[in-house]
Structure 1
Amino acid sequence: MTDLQVVTLDETTATIIWTAPGDDDLVGTAAEYQIGYAAEPITGVSWPSCTMLPVCPTPTPAGSRQSTPIETPPVPDIYVALKTVDESGNWSGLSNVAHGHIPTIFDVIQLTTQGSNRDPCLSDGFVTWVGTMEAYTDEILIAGLGGAGASPTVLTDNGGEKAQPSSHGREKIVWQGRGDGGDDWEIFVYSYQSVPRYRAFTDNEVRDLFPVLAGAGNFAWQYGSTMFEEIHYWNASMNEKITLTNECCPTNRYSNGRPVADAFTVVWNRYDRTGSGENRTYMWNGTRRDITDDLGGSAAHDFSLDDGTLAYEWSASPSTIMYWDGMTVREIGDGSAPSLDDGAIAFEAWDGHDWEIYFWDGMSIEQITDNDFGDYDPSLSGNLLAWSGRPSGPGGLYQIFYTRLPER
């Protein structure tokens, strides 16, 4: 076995994943696993002194994916290896040794170095993004941020253009994609437990853009063309598409902007194309209501939604990050592109030289990056923060970075 990985790691628990071997190389099903871990690198000599997992998962057929949590001591590094035995009692050799590392708080780690990598989305310890591979085709990649080096895994292999992935851990991912021939954008869905794991969700003659997951496999997206845009919502449990707006046609007076979603709630802006009326902000969680006045007026945009609360950008000079807790609005500071999680906000802001990443924990602001290149598009989840940056300077390739934040 060569693909054992530590995909998430904190002070008490590591999660490992691997591809199940067989009882005869890559055929059949092994009889039993033995999983050992230590705070130092594991070798064949040191294997007997490793701490052994007392209860290992039952092997599944060769080629299937397996995972298990491990309760670990409070150390910054953990090393894990695995052996299998067949029904005749023949033990395998030692697998590759997986290494997990807990980064020091606020240490900035560069996750990618090859190609162009952008649009990071962080959820439940996994970051998903779009990577431009050989021949300038886009693919969806994922990495668990517990492993040393956090080895990226390529999830797609169909080329074309891709953008705007939205993820729920590694279990569910949606994104927009189109072929190399310039076809209209469609929505694609990846499910970890499905075969095949990804498929086209839409197939029509208009643009389907900005998909965003809303819990339990539900998601919202923008549907339309340059002449009209509506907001659609997919209810996975009911296997039903719901149109949240139906006001663009036939007059084309209104356009509905990029939605954000979380826990069965969707928020978006409606724009008046004629310029004769205010732009309005709407929230839907079964019924639709206008929350423009709750947010302070029609200058709110670029939302991030979490459990009914909103972070957003307020149009000003410079632009300002605002936070609405469902009752009152609070001004956080200058910046844009907010990412909200559990009352904390990450955002990008101009430091007088270039764009840097900042973090507000509900009380004070911490500057996360301080370098000579632009850092953009932060994505916050728990005590992890990911973003894209251009270490080679303006016009250079984007790469993915992340850091560990204090527990909140």
Structure 2
Amino acid sequence: MTSDLFEGSTDSSGYQPLAARLRPHDLDTYAGQQHLLAPGKPLRESIERRQLHSMIFWGPPGVGKTTLARIAAEAADAHFLQLSAVLSGVKEIREAVAQAKQHKASGRDTVLFVDEVHRFNKSQQDAFLPYVEDGTVIFVGATTENPSFELNNALLSRSRVYKLRQLERAELEHVLQRGLEALPGMQASTECLAMIAAQADGDARRALNLLELAADLAEQDEITQATLEEVLQGSLRRFDKGGDLFYDQISALHKAVRGSAPDAALYWFCRMLDGGCEPLYIARRVMRMASEDIGNADPRALSLALDAWQVQERLGSPEGELALAQAILYLACAPKSNAVYNAYKLASADVDEGDSEEVPMHLRNAPTALMRDMEHGEGYRYAHDEEEGYAAGENYFPAALSERRYYHPVDRGLEKRIAEKLQYLRERDKTSTIRRYD
């Protein structure tokens, strides 16, 4: 087995992307993550004292997960092995462990870095456990996904999770300045570097790739705004469909609607569209918001959400997105109630946990003479023939559940009037001389 399998090519004579050439080799040149690496922080102390432990680096692309693992290994004078969960399997894991055992026998630790560790299935993750447990390897995993969902509990319990953040604009501009210095003779204004930093969206690798592409297209060794307009056209912000960023942003949209913050809701809607989210997915979630957070406080919200969905389906862009924006703003401004949502959960819990109660005889269907002879429908009171169209004292539950109350309207919007109506009907029940199940 060659070292290339784990460490990449050692041939420096060929082309290397700018991002690879500028990879930091120590903490002093590493950009960002000051919440973890500022003087006195535990991770920095661990690296500087050469006391490494197994860890998971969780964060978006291009924030330095691989670089940080390499810096930690170099600082501890540990052998560095790298696996990609996309390209590797149990065979490569075994070969890496065999290398680590050889180094362990000679008194040297091994940092085994696994990129995109969330792509390993549970049994592949289990393969690391004995060697993490006995110290054969210092395990460092990198993931863009939430480790609590994607990694085995056993592996998580043996590792410390560090959350890496996207780089700030100022940090990206500093990285880009270093990149510019590595391009002999190339010039760019601070405004141009700021434009690249804005489009890189917290991703240092992406920032340097954009800088390198701009340098390739630049005339007379100067990156201008005209150059950048060509490079940056159609550039999308980080969204990661199906990943944490996806769910974080739809969560922010939903909570802004629930919190009656129309401007914030519109911002998150536009962010998701900008990131390439399918508008019909948002339309479906808006329908959910209409029922879960507005409900009967304003039933028009559900109709408007459905109308917006149909506009998106029938007309597409841009009319569909505008209709969705209208629905989102309406929902955010509407009176809020989760009474329907709560009632549904309570009723579902009774059904899930309870017995299969019989339908009371007076409520049963009686389409045939045999069923009528068996007293199906006997004693049923036809509400339309009752005073005010209401059969006071009647009960429509199974006998064992006759006092259940699931729906508790709030004192907002239309539900305020619904609550008054229900209270009036219940008072009539109390005073009725006919009381089913009494």
TM-score where L is the length of structure 2: 0.25
TM-score where L is the length of structure 1: 0.26
The structure with the largest alpha-carbon Rg is 2
Q: Which has the higher strand share?
A: 1
